[in-house]
Structure 1
Amino acid sequence: MKILKRILLILSVLLIVAVYFNFPKLNFISGYASKNMASTVFITDRSAESVELNDNDVPLIKLADVETDGKSASASVFGLMERKAICNEGLGCTLVNEDYDPNTKIPAPQRVKQKNDLEFPYGDKEANDTIFSNVDYDQLQKGLDHAFSNNDVQKTRTVLVTHKNHIIGEKYLEGFTKDTPILGWSMTKSVLATLYGILEYQGKLDLNEPVLLNNWDKDDRKKITLNHLLRMQSGLAWDEDYTSISDVTRMLFMDADMTKAQGEKVAIAAPTEIWNYSSGTSNLLSGILRKRFKTHQEYINFPYKALIDKIGMSSMLIETDMKGNFVGSSYAWATTRDWAKFGLLYLNKGNWNGEQLFDASWVDYVSKPTLHSDGTYGGHFWLNANGKYPDVPRDLYSANGYQGQRVFIIPSKDLVVVRTGLAEDPDFDINLFLKNILAAIK
C-alpha cells in the first residue's frame, strides 16, 4: 500500500510539473485552432468538420475543442485557455486577446476587381486548349497524378503547371476546386516584398536608406536598411521556433500589433554578418510600409490597388492583426490559379499584359543569394542556387509556405508550378515532384 501511495504521489507530482510547464502552450494551441478554423470556414466556405478532420488534425492542435458561429471561432483545451478569432469582411479573421475592443473599426480595402473578357492569366475566362509541341502531356499527367499518390502521406491538395503563360495541367483533391482559396502561410512574405519592389519602381523609396525606427539611432541598429530586412540579414535577435514558446509564437498568437516584436529586439550582429529567417522581420516591414501612407485606408488599399487587383488576383485576401496591420509573414489567401498569376508576374519580370509593375531588375534582386544563407535565400524568396533540388535548374526561385505551399518559378523552362497541401519534405518530395514535371518539358 505504501508503495502504491508513493507511486501515485510521484505521478501526481509529475502531472503537476507537466501542467506547469505546458500551461502557457495552451494559449498557442487554442489560438492556432480558433484562428485556423475561423479563417478557413469564413474565407473558403469549407465546413468546420473538414477543418477539424484535416487542417487542425496536427499534434497538440487537435487537442483543442473548437466552436464556430459563422463569423468567429472559439477554442479551448480541456476547458482551459479559451481563445477567440473574429472575422470581418475584407480583412479576414483576427485572433483577439484581452485588449480587444469590439468598437474599434479597421477600414476594409476598397477594391476594384477586374472585369474583362480576357483568357488566363490576364482574365478569368477559360483559355482555349493550347498544345505545345515540346510538352509530353502524358508524362505531365503522370507527374500530376504522382503528386496525389499515397496522399495520406503526401497530403497534396492542388497542383497547377503553366508554360509560356498557359495552363498546361492542373489537378485538385476532392473538395477543392479552382475557386477554393488556399492559405499561403509564408508565401505571404514574397507578396509583401513585392510591394517594396513596386514602391522602388515608382521612385518612392531607396532600399539602402537606414530604416531608423524609434530608439534605433542609439545603437548599431541605426545601420539597418530595408535591404537588410528584405534579405533577413539585419542582425536582430529572433527565435523562429514553432514548437515552443518563442518569439514567433508569441507574436502570432499573443500580440495585438505584430509589427512591433522584431523592432524591439537587440542587435546580436552587425547587418550582413548573419542570416536569420524571421517572420518578425516580415511583419516589421508591414509596419514600415504602413508609415509611408497618410491614412490607414491608403495603407489597406495599397496591396490591392498596386498589385493584387492589378493582376486579377481577385480571390486574394491578406488578413490583418488587431491593430489593422497586414500580417505579412503568414496570412494571405488565394486560389491556386491566382497564386500562379503571382508567379507569372515574376516570370514576366514585372510586366503584366504590357504594364510594368516593378523593374525587371527586381527579379534579379529577389533571386540573388543572400550572404550566409548558403544559396537558399534571396529577397523574401527561396532559391535553388546551391542545388538543394538536384534534378531542378539552379535558376529556380520560389515563394514557400508552411506545410508545402509553393509557387515555383523556373525561368529557364518558362514554367510556373504551384503546389498546395498539408505536408512538405520529406513526406512530400519536392525534388521528385519537380523532376516529374520537368520530364514533360522538352
Structure 2
Amino acid sequence: MTILRWIGAGLAVIIIAGLVWLNTSTIGRIYLPTATGITAKQICSLTFVSGMDPDLARELYIDPLLGGASVLVSANVDRDDHSVHSRVLGLWHNEAVWREGLGCTLTHGSRDFDRDLRMPWQHAPEYYTLDTVHRDEAFDTAALDAAIDGAFDESFSPRNTLAVVVLHDGRLVAERYAPGFSRENRLHSWSMAKSVAATLAGAMTLNGQLDVYEPGTIELLDGLGAEGEATTIDDLLRMTGGRAAHEINDGTDPNSDMLFTETDMARFSATRERLFAPGEHWEYMSGDTVLATWEMQSRLGETLEQQVRAVRALIFEPAGIHSPVFEADASGTLQGSSYVYATPHDWARLMQIYLDDGMANGQRILPENWRDYVTTETPGSDGIYGSGFWLAPEITPQAFYMSGFQGQTTLAIPEHGLVIVRMGATTYTGTGTWTMARSVMAALND
C-alpha cells in the first residue's frame, strides 16, 4: 500500500506540475484561450449574423484553422440566450454573445458588457437589380458566365467560394452564390474591415471631425512618450505605428492574443512595446487599425449606441447600405481591423463610392480624391499597401482592393469601371480571384 501511495502521490505531483506548466506556458496563456475564443466568436457571428448552420460554419471557417486541436474544442449554441460557449477539456472557456445590430462579442466575463443593448437597422438591406441590357451590351455574356463559373468549386472544398458579385459602371452584371447561400447573407469581412475604417476616416475628414495627419490627438497614447504623442491616424491606418503587435495568425502571436483573449483591444495595442518611430517602419498589423478606430469613434459620441448611429449616418445610410454589422469588443471598441459583416451587394456598393469619387445617391460621402489618399503607396510596403486598401498593379495600374483573411476580396478596376466581390472561407490554398478578375476583363466587349 505504501508503494501505491507513493505512486499516487507522484502521479498527482506530475499532473499538478503539468497543469501549472500548461497554464503558464504560451499554449495555456494564449493558444488554448485563442482556440476557444475563435470558436465561440466565429460560430456566434456566422450563426446569428450570417445565418449559417453552426456545423457548416465550423467546418468551413474554424476547424481548418485549428487543425488537429479542433477535436478538443467543444461549442454549444444557445439560441434562446443568443450565445455560444466553447471549451477545451473543461479548463479553458469562452463566451460570445449576440446583440441585434451589433453582432457578437467575446465577453471575457466583463461586468461592464451590456448584454441587452440592441441596435437594429431601421431599413432593410437593398439589392441591385441585374441589368441584363447593360450586361449584354458591355460583355460577351458567355465569357462572363464562364469567368464567374471558374471561381467556384464543384463542391465547397477546397476554395469554398461563397459569393461573387460584379458591378460594371455601377450596374449589377453578374452574381452567383454557393448552394445554401444568397445575396441576403451578411458575410464576414475579416480585414476588409480596415477599408471600412479608412472610409470612416474620409467621412470624418469631410465633416471636419478629423485630420489624419495631426499628431498628438490619440488619447490612448497620452503619456507614452514623444513617439506616442507624434503618432497620427495616418500612421495607424498605414500600419506604421511602430509597436510590437506582430501578426502571424498562428494562435500565439500578439494579433491572436488581441482578437480572442483581450477585453479592451485598443488599450492592448496602445501599450505594446515601441519598436520604431511612427511612420518609420511598415508592418502589417491589425492593432494599429483597432487603435485608429477607437480614436475615431471616441469623437462620435459618448456611448457605443451614439457612435454606431454616427458611423451609419456618415458612411452607410447615405449610400443605401443597410446591412453592415460592425462588431465591438467587450469594452465597446468597434473592431475596425476584422469584424464587419455585410451582404456581398453592400461590399460592392461601398467600393463603388470610390469609383464615383466619394459620391453616392447624389451626396458627397468622402472628400474629393480620397481614393488618391487610400491608394497612395505606403513607404516600405513594396508598393502593395496604401491606407486601409491594397494595391493591385498586377491587374491594372489603378486597381486596388479590400482584402480579408480566408479570401475576402472587393476589387476595384477603375480603368474598366469594374467592382468585383469575392467572399469565401478559403484556408491554405489559392482563391482564384485574380484569374477570375482577368477573365471578367477579357469578357468586356471592345
TM over 0.5: yes
Given the alignment, which residue of 205, 208, 224 partners 2:231? Answer: 224
Which SS does the other structure have where 1:243 is aligned? Answer: coil
Tell me the number of residue pairs that the alignment of Structure 1 and Structure 2 aligns.
418
Which residue is equivalent to 1:384? 392
Gaps of at least 5 residues in structure 2 are: 1-10
Which consecutive aligned stretches of 4+ in structure 1 deviate over 6 angstroms post-superposition?
Answer: none
Which residue is equivalent to 2:415? 412
Q: Distance in 1 between matches of 2:356 and 2:140?
A: 24
Cα deviation code 1:274-309 (max 9, x no counterpart): 101121111111210132134213212111111122
Q: Distance in 1 between matches of 2:112 and 2:235?
A: 35
Given the alignment, which residue of 173, 194, 201 partners 2:199? Answer: 194
Shift of 1:86: 1.0
Which SS does the other structure have where 1:84 is aligned? Answer: strand
Which SS does the other structure have where 2:180 is aligned? Answer: coil
Kindly indicate whether residue 261 of structure 2 is the aligned counterpart of residue 261 of structure 1: no
Correspondence 1:364-379 to 2 at 5 A:
364-379=372-387
Q: Distance in 1 between matches of 2:276 and 2:121?
A: 42
Cα deviation code 1:101-160 (max 9, x no counterpart): 56x367544744379xxxxxxx53635532343311111111111111355222111111
Q: Distance in 2 between matches of 1:258 and 1:429?
A: 33
Gaps of at least 5 residues in structure 1 are: 1-8, 116-122
Q: Distance in 2 between matches of 1:396 and 1:86?
A: 38
Kindly indicate whether residue 30 of structure 2 is the aligned counterpart of residue 29 of structure 1: no
Q: Distance in 2 between matches of 1:244 and 1:46?
A: 24
Given the alignment, which residue of 124, 138, 141 partners 1:137? Answer: 141
Cα deviation code 1:19-72 (max 9, x no counterpart): 565333111111111111111111122222222332222142633111111100
Which residue is equivalent to 2:347? 339
Q: Distance in 1 between matches of 2:43 and 2:62?
A: 8
Correspondence 1:260-409 to 2 at 5 A:
260-296=267-303, 297-385=305-393, 387=394, 392-409=395-412
Look up the equivalent residue of 2:57 and give its one-letter code. Answer: V
Which SS does the other structure have where 1:44 is aligned? Answer: coil
Q: Distance in 1 between matches of 2:224 and 2:42?
A: 39
Given the alignment, which residue of 165, 169, 177 partners 1:164? Answer: 169
Which residue is equivalent to 2:254? 247
Greater shift in the superposed pair: 236-245 or 136-145: 236-245
Q: Distance in 1 between matches of 2:210 and 2:112?
A: 35
Q: Distance in 2 between matches of 1:106 and 1:410?
A: 43
Is the Cα–Cα contact under 8 Å of residues 424 and 430 in structure 1 kept in the other structure? no
Shift of 1:199: 0.9
Is the Cα–Cα contact under 8 Å of residues 112 and 331 in structure 2 kept in the other structure? no
Cα deviation code 1:237-279 (max 9, x no counterpart): 2211210422111111111111112211233222222101121
Greater shift in the superposed pair: 66-75 or 151-160: 151-160
User: TM-score by structure 1 length?
Assistant: 0.88
Look up the equivalent residue of 1:259 and give its one-letter code. Answer: A
Greater shift in the superposed pair: 132-141 or 399-408: 132-141
Look up the equivalent residue of 1:149 and give its one-letter code. Answer: D
| Identical residues among aligned pairs (%) | 28
Which SS does the other structure have where 1:260 is aligned? Answer: helix
Which SS does the other structure have where 1:130 is aligned? Answer: helix
Is the Cα–Cα contact under 8 Å of residues 26 and 80 in structure 1 kept in the other structure? no
Which SS does the other structure have where 1:131 is aligned? Answer: helix
Q: CA RMSD in A?
A: 2.4
Q: Distance in 2 between matches of 1:436 and 1:40?
A: 31
Q: Distance in 1 between matches of 2:61 and 2:433?
A: 21
Distance 1:144 1:253, change over 3 A: same
Is the Cα–Cα contact under 8 Å of residues 311 and 341 in structure 1 kept in the other structure? yes
Which residue is equivalent to 1:4? none
Q: Distance in 2 between matches of 1:346 and 1:425?
A: 31
Greater shift in the superposed pair: 16-25 or 49-58: 16-25
Is the Cα–Cα contact under 8 Å of residues 112 and 309 in structure 1 kept in the other structure? no
Q: Distance in 2 between matches of 1:430 and 1:51?
A: 22
Is the Cα–Cα contact under 8 Å of residues 87 and 94 in structure 1 kept in the other structure? yes
